[in-house]
Every structure is written in structure tokens, then in C-alpha cells.
Amino acid sequence: MSKIPPRAVSSLQDLADIAGVSRATVSRALNNSTLINAETRKRLQALASEHNYTVNKQARDFRLKQTRVISVVFMLDAHSEQHPSDPFFLEMLGGIADGLSLHDYDLLLAHAPVASMRDLANSRIVRNAEGVIFVGQGEEHQALNKLADAGTPIVVWGGSVADKRYLLVGGDNAGGGFSATSHLIAQGRRRIAFFGNTRTPENQARFSGYEKALAQANLQPDEKLTVDIPSDMQHAQVVIENLLNKRIDMDAVVCTSDVMAIAAIAALTESGFSVPDDIAVVGYDDIPIASFSSPPLTTIRQSIHQAGSVLVESVLALINGHQVADTTLSSKLVVRKSCGA
């Protein structure tokens, strides 16, 4: 009968005492060092698992000056102190979490993110992690540049900016904005609005794609049709309803997210417009719920989950000192009924 270990084995030394060797030997054995005799190694590993011992990662990481943690910061609207209810974020988070687990890294989630970009460099978020993934740039482009300059390994999901000095992963925003708009034009729409905050690089690029499509069709852009809509659904609806009260002439809307599109459809319907008969709507992201809205949402699909793993690979490469280039993931138009197709 095997005896139950009398007291918990909680350190290398404990195990070394039991085995009658030094703790250096145990450490090497458990790390599969070839310095240690193969038999000794096996014996000690067996002993360790028999006593249900695993190395104390906290001590290990401290000694090795590593954390095996990556922080994730969601850059929300500086204005809306709201929490994101956009499923986009959750999908992205899932992708990142999966990517990290592949490499045995943990995920530290930043709370109250944008509150204090100033002292972010000294926060636990940055100091406790080997690298940081930012989802979105918000309007904090310069703060991100500064952080990258300071040598912190960071990767940002977002859109390109002229003087960017950090590693970037993003969708083809210009392409997405272009194909959304072109498709509406091809459907015969002429007065096409653009809904979204164009101060973020991502939306800027989408807007440029929108403008390009208009130009290509010889349509005059009308600045009354470019509207800054908050990303929070409740607020979005109010703003859109105010807009509709102004009776601005339009027959289509390009939105910068699916949830915004869904809010828009609700507001339009509420105001007596028919979607897509009176006004066509295109969203962005292709979140799972998009195909279930009524009418089903035409949208630009981003492979969000894949984006997560690209972000992870990029930040880890950075940490390991490898050369890494920006990545642009393809964006693809998914046609459903909300655009009149």
C-alpha cells in the first residue's frame, strides 16, 4: 500500500529532501535538462507527480523575470464611458485567448482602459505583462506611439496612420468601405450616408473607401451625409432619430459596425422608413447576430477570430525580438437583404 504523503510538498527543496538529492538536481530534472542522468530524471519526475507537485510559477517567473502574461486593452470611445455591448469585442477576445493559450500565455484584461493613458506605462497592465494588445486606437494614436517608443512590445488592432511607429494588425478598411459603398451604388442608390466616428483611423480608412467609391461613380459627396454616430446603441438611436427629423434626403447608409446598423434599422423603421425599400443599410463586422436581424444585414465580414490569433503571433514575435510586419486581413462583402439585394 502506498502511503499518502504526510505533508504537502510545496517546494523544490521538499522534494529534494525526499529524494535525497539537491534542489538544483530536482529543478534540472523537472526542466528536462540533459545535464541530469536520464534515470534520475525519470525518477524525480515520477516522484513529483506522485506527490502532486508542480513548480511554483510565481517564483519561477520572478526568478526568470518573466510573466507569461499579455495584457489586452479595449479602446472604447473616449466619450461614452459605456461598456461595450458589441459582440465584436467578445469574438476578438475569444480569438486572442485561444491564441495565447496555444503558447501557454495568460490574458490580463484591462479595466477602465482609456481613463489614464498617461500613466499606462507604469500601470500593472503594462508592467505585469510581457506585451500588450490594444483593440482599436480610439483617439489615442500618439499615446500608442509613445508607448512603442519606450520599447514596450505592443500590437494594435486598427487602421493605418501616417506617423505610426507601432505594430499594426487590421482589416482592409479602405477596401471594406469601398465595397460596401460600391455595392449600394450598383443597387441604384445615389444619396448614401456614412455613419460613424471618423476620428479613429479605422473609420477614417473606411470613409476614404466610401469617398473613393462615390468619386468613381461621379457622385458628389455631401457632408450632411457624414454623421458622427456614437458606438453605443442607445445613444446611436437618439442621434439617428434627431437626424431623421431633419428630413435629409438619403437612400442608403454605410455604418461602421453591425450594432450601429441594427440601431439604424430600428430608428429608420420607427420613423416610418422601410429598409431596404426606402433606405438600404450596410453594416460592418458580420457579427453572428447580423444574419438574424430583420431584414438580415448586409455587411463587411472581418475574420475576427483569426484576427485574434494574428495579434497574438505578432506580439509574441515582437517579444522574441523577431522582425514583424504589419498585417492586413481581408474584408469581404456579405450581401443580405438589408441592402435590397
Partner DNA sequence: ATTGCAAATGCAATCGATTGCATTTTTGTA
Partner DNA sequence: TACAAAAATGCAATCGATTGCATTTGCAAT
Give strand pairing partners of 252. 192, 280
Task: Name the DSSP class of 290.
Answer: G
187 touching DNA, by CB under 7 A: no
* DSSP letters for 95-150: HHHHHHHHTT-EEEEPSS-GGGSGGGGGSHHHHTSSEEEEE--TT-HHHHHHHHHT
User: Which of 59, 150, 186, 248 is the binder for its own copies (CB under 8 A)?
Assistant: 59
56 touching DNA, by CB under 7 A: yes
Question: Which residues from 260-289 bind its own copies, rule CB under 8 A?
Answer: 262-263, 265-266, 269, 287-289
Whether 262 and 297 have beta carbons less than 8 Å apart is answered as: yes
Q: How far is the CB of 322 from DNA (least distance, A)?
A: 20
Residue 30 contact, options its own copies, DNA, none, Cβ 5-8 Å cut-off depending on partner type? DNA
Q: Identify which of 135, 89, 98, 130 has the alpha carbon closest to the alpha carbon of residue 113.
A: 135
Whether 113 and 74 have beta carbons less than 8 Å apart is answered as: yes
Q: How far is the CB of 53 from DNA (least distance, A)?
A: 7
Q: How far is the CB of 150 from DNA (least distance, A)?
A: 18
Q: How far is the CB of 27 from DNA (least distance, A)?
A: 4
Q: How far is the CB of 18 from DNA (least distance, A)?
A: 12
Q: Considering only 22-30, 210-218, 247-255, 268-276, which stretch makes contact with DNA by CB under 7 A?
A: 22-30
Q: Identify which of 112, 70, 73 has the alpha carbon closest to the alpha carbon of residue 89.
A: 73
User: Which of 17, 51, 55, 326 is the binder for DNA (CB under 7 A)?
Assistant: 55
Chain centroid to CA 200: 15
Q: How far is the CB of 44 from DNA (least distance, A)?
A: 9
Distances from the Cα of 89 to the Cα of 18, 74, 125, 259, angstroms:
50, 8, 19, 12
User: Which of 90, 317, 334, 341 is the binder for its own copies (CB under 8 A)?
Assistant: 90
User: Which of 18, 78, 107, 334 is the binder for its own copies (CB under 8 A)?
Assistant: 107
313 touching its own copies, by CB under 8 A: no
Q: How far apart are CA 125 and CA 74, in angstroms?
A: 12
Question: Which residues from 146-185 bind its own copies, rule CB under 8 A?
Answer: none
Q: How far is the CB of 101 from its own copies (least distance, A)?
A: 4
Distances from the Cα of 204 to the Cα of 42, 80, 261, angstroms:
59, 19, 18
Q: Identify which of 164, 117, 110 has the alpha carbon closest to the alpha carbon of residue 133.
A: 110
Helices (H), the chain: 12-19, 23-30, 38-50, 57-64, 87-102, 124-127, 141-149, 173-186, 201-216, 233-245, 258-270, 304-319
Residue 93 contact, options DNA, its own copies, none, Cβ 5-8 Å cut-off depending on partner type? its own copies
User: Which of 5, 8, 31, 322 is the binder for DNA (CB under 7 A)?
Assistant: 31
Is 64 or 112 the residue whose CB approaches DNA more closely?
64
User: Which of 3, 65, 246, 247 is the binder for DNA (CB under 7 A)?
Assistant: 65
Q: How far apart are CA 337 and CA 341, in angstroms?
A: 5
Residue for grid cell 448586409: 298
Whether 285 and 328 have beta carbons less than 8 Å apart is answered as: no
Residue 52 contact, options DNA, its own copies, none, Cβ 5-8 Å cut-off depending on partner type? its own copies
Residues interacting with DNA, by CB under 7 A? 10-13, 20-25, 27-28, 30-31, 34-38, 40, 55-56, 59-60, 62-65
Residues interacting with its own copies, by CB under 8 A? 52, 54, 57-59, 61-62, 67, 83-87, 89-91, 93-95, 97-98, 100-101, 106-109, 111-112, 122, 124, 127-128, 233-234, 237, 259, 262-263, 265-266, 269, 287-289, 291-294, 296, 305
